[in-house]
C-alpha cells in the first residue's frame, strides 16, 4: 500500500468517526438548514416568521424589518410566541446564537432555517 493510499484511508476513517460522533452528539437529528439572504427574503415574503435571537441592546442598535426579538437565552420559555404553522428564520450577529436557536426550535418541532449573521440578509 502506498503512503498516499494509506493517508487517504486514515483521513476517510477520521471523517467517518467525526460524522458519527456529531450525529450522536446531536441526538441523530439533522441540523437546521443554513440559508443565504435571497432564500431568507423569499421565505419571509411567503410568510415565514423572522426571529432575531440577539440581545435587546443589539436589537435597539438595528434589526431586520419584520423581525421579532426573542433572545436565545429566553427562547425555550417563549416558544408559544412563535407560530408552528409556518417556517421560522432565525438570525443573530455572527451565526453562533442563531445555530443554537435553530437547534432548540428544531428539537421543539419547528420548521426552521438559520440565516446566521444578519449581514447575510443583504439589501
Residues forming the active site: 92
Judge residue 75's burial from the number of C-beta atoms within 10 Å of its C-beta, 0-12 exposed, 13-18 middle, 19 or more buried: buried
Burial call 41-72: b when 16+ CB within 10 Å, e when fewer: bebbeeebbbbbbbbeebbeeebbeebeebbb
Amino acid at each position: 500500500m502506498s503512503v498516499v493510499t494509506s493517508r487517504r484511508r486514515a483521513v476517510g476513517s477520521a471523517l467517518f468517526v467525526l460524522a458519527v460522533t456529531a450525529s450522536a452528539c446531536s441526538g441523530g437529528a439533522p441540523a437546521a438548514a443554513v440559508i443565504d439572504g435571497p432564500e431568507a427574503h423569499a421565505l419571509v415574503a411567503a410568510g415565514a416568521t423572522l426571529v432575531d435571537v440577539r440581545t435587546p441592546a443589539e436589537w435597539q442598535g438595528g434589526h431586520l424589518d419584520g423581525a421579532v426579538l426573542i433572545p436565545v437565552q429566553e427562547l425555550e420559555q417563549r416558544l408559544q410566541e412563535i407560530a408552528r404553522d409556518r417556517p421560522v428564520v432565525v438570525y443573530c450577529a455572527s451565526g453562533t446564537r442563531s445555530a443554537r436557536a435553530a437547534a432548540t426550535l428544531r428539537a421543539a418541532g419547528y420548521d426552521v432555517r438559520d440565516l446566521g449573521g444578519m449581514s447575510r440578509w443583504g439589501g
